[in-house]
Chains A and B, each alone.
Chain A
Amino acid sequence: MDFKRIYTSSKTYIVLLFVAFAIILFTASMAYYQIMRMQDLAEKVAHTLQVNNAISELSAHSTQAESEEFRNQLQKTEGKNTIFDDYVKEGETILKTLKDLTQENTSQQTRLAPMQSLLDSLHEELKVLADHPDKPLNNLSESEKDKKTNVNFTLYRIRNIRNQMLAEERLSIKKTRDEYESNKYLAPLTSLLLAFFALLIFILAFLKIYRNKLRIRRSENFLRSVLATTDNIVNYYEPIYDKQKTITDFKIVFANECNRDYLGLDPDQIIGEPVSKIFPFLMLNGEFDKLVNCFYKKEKITLDRQISAKGEKLWFKSLITPLAEGIMVTARNSTAEETAKREQLLLNQRLEEQNLKLLDNRAFLNNIFKSISHVVMNFESIRDKDDKVIDFKILFINDKITPITGDLPEEIINKRVSEVFPTIFESEIFGYLTGVVQTGNPTSYEVPYEVEGAIKWFSARAIKLGDGITLTTREITEEKEKTNQLLQLNTQLETQNSIFIDAENVANIGSYIWYLDNGEASMSDNFYRILGYPPNSFKVTYDSYREFVHPDDIHLYDLLGKETIEQGASQINGYRIITKQGDVKHIELNGRALIRNGRKASVGVIVDVTEEKKNENRVEALIQELSIQNSILTDAERIAKIGSFIWYAGSDKIELSDNFYRMLGYEPKGFEASLNDFDKFVHPEDLQIFHGSIEKSMQELTVTEHRYRIITKQGEVKHLKVNGQFIEKDNERIMSGVAQDISSTIAAEEKLRTSNLELQHSNAELESFNRVASHDLQEPLRKTQMFISRLESTEADNLSEKGRVYFRKVVNAASRMQSLVMNLLTYSRIDSKHEDFGIIDLNEVLAKVQEDLSTNIENSNASITSEELPSIKGVSYQLEQLFNNLISNAIKYRVADATPSITIQSEKVHSKQIPDDFFKSANTYYKITIIDNGIGFSTEHAEKIFEVFQRLHQKSEYSGTGIGLAICKKIVENHRGFIYATSELGKGSAFVFYLPA
Chain B
Amino acid sequence: MSTKLLNIALADDDEDDRMLFSEAIEDISIRTKLSLFNHGQELMDYLNLPNVILPNLIFLDLNMPIKNGMQCLKEIRQNPDLKDLCIAIYSTSSSERDIEETFLNGANIYLNKPNNFGKLQDSVERILQLNWQYHTSNLNKDTFLFRI
Chain A positions 798 through 830: 1 when the CB is less than 8 Å from some CB of chain B, otherwise 0: 000000000000000000001000000000010
B92 contacts A877, C-beta separation under 8 Å: no
A789 contacts B117, C-beta separation under 8 Å: yes
Which A residues lie within 8 Å of B17 (CB)? 783
Chain A positions 748 through 791: 1 when the CB is less than 8 Å from some CB of chain B, otherwise 0: 00000000000000000000000000110011011101110110
- Decide yes or no: A785 and B92 within 8 Å by CB, A775-B63, A790-B20 being known contacts: no
A789 contacts B93, C-beta separation under 8 Å: no
A789 contacts B92, C-beta separation under 8 Å: no
Point out the residue from B93, B94, B96, B117 that lies within 8 Å of A786, measured CB to CB.
B117
- Decide yes or no: A793 and B115 within 8 Å by CB, A774-B95, A783-B16 being known contacts: no
B118 at the binding interface (Cβ < 8 Å):
yes
Task: Give complex CA distance A778, B91 in Å.
Answer: 11
- In angstroms, how far is the closest chain A Cβ from the Cβ of B47? 26
- Decide yes or no: A782 and B96 within 8 Å by CB, A775-B63, A789-B118 being known contacts: no
- In angstroms, how far is the closest chain A Cβ from the Cβ of B75? 22
B96 contacts A877, C-beta separation under 8 Å: yes
Chain A positions 301 through 324: 1 when the CB is less than 8 Å from some CB of chain B, otherwise 0: 000000000000000000000000
Q: Which residues 5-32 in A have Cβ within 8 Å of B in the complex? A: none
Which of B14, B92, B95, B114 has its CB near the most chain A CB atoms (within 10 A)? Answer: B92
A778 contacts B92, C-beta separation under 8 Å: yes
Q: Which residues of A contact B (CB under 8 A)?
A: 774-775, 778-779, 781-783, 785-787, 789-790, 793, 818, 829, 877
- In angstroms, how far is the closest chain A Cβ from the Cβ of B112? 9
- In angstroms, how far is the closest chain A Cβ from the Cβ of B16? 6
- In angstroms, how far is the closest chain A Cβ from the Cβ of B92? 5
Which A residues lie within 8 Å of B116 (CB)? 785-786, 789
Task: Give complex CA distance A414, B93 in Å.
Answer: 62
Chain B positions 59 through 94: 1 when the CB is less than 8 Å from some CB of chain A, otherwise 0: 000010000000000000000000000000000111
Which B residues lie within 8 Å of A785 (CB)? 115-116
- In angstroms, how far is the closest chain A Cβ from the Cβ of B136? 32
- In angstroms, how far is the closest chain B Cβ from the Cβ of A905? 30
Task: Give complex CA distance A781, B114 in Å.
Answer: 11
Task: Give complex CA distance A978, B117 in Å.
Answer: 42
Name 10 A/B residue pairs within 8 A (Cβ), A-sorted. A774-B94, A779-B14, A779-B92, A783-B17, A786-B115, A786-B117, A789-B117, A789-B119, A793-B117, A818-B115
Which A residues lie within 8 Å of B96 (CB)? 877
Q: Which residues of B contact A (CB under 8 A)?
A: 14, 16-17, 20, 23, 63, 92-96, 113-120
Point out the residue from A774, A775, A789, A829 that lies within 8 Å of B115, measured CB to CB.
A789
Which A residues lie within 8 Å of B94 (CB)? 774
Which B residues lie within 8 Å of A779 (CB)? 14, 92
Point out the residue from B63, B92, B118 that lies within 8 Å of A782, measured CB to CB.
B92
Which A residues lie within 8 Å of B16 (CB)? 783, 786-787
A775 contacts B20, C-beta separation under 8 Å: no
Which of A774, A778, A786 has its CB near the most chain B CB atoms (within 10 A)? Answer: A786
Task: Give complex CA distance A309, B12 in Å.
Answer: 123
A791 closest partner in B (C-beta): B117
B93 contacts A775, C-beta separation under 8 Å: yes
Which B residues lie within 8 Å of A829 (CB)? 95
- In angstroms, how far is the closest chain B Cβ from the Cβ of A835? 10
- In angstroms, how far is the closest chain B Cβ from the Cβ of A772? 12
- In angstroms, how far is the closest chain A Cβ from the Cβ of B70? 14
Which B residues lie within 8 Å of A786 (CB)? 16, 20, 114-117, 120
Task: Give complex CA distance A782, B90 in Å.
Answer: 13
Task: Give complex CA distance A371, B93 in Å.
Answer: 68
- In angstroms, how far is the closest chain B Cβ from the Cβ of A40? 152
- Decide yes or no: A775 and B92 within 8 Å by CB, A782-B113, A783-B16, A786-B20 being known contacts: yes
Task: Give complex CA distance A781, B14 in Å.
Answer: 14
Give the 6 A-B residue pairs with the shortest CB-CB distance, closest first.
A785-B115, A789-B116, A789-B117, A782-B115, A790-B117, A778-B92
Task: Give complex CA distance A305, B20 in Å.
Answer: 123
Given contacts A786-B115, A793-B118, A877-B96, 4 further A-B contacts (CB under 8 A): A786-B20, A790-B20, A793-B117, A818-B115
Which A residues lie within 8 Å of B93 (CB)? 774-775
Which A residues lie within 8 Å of B113 (CB)? 782
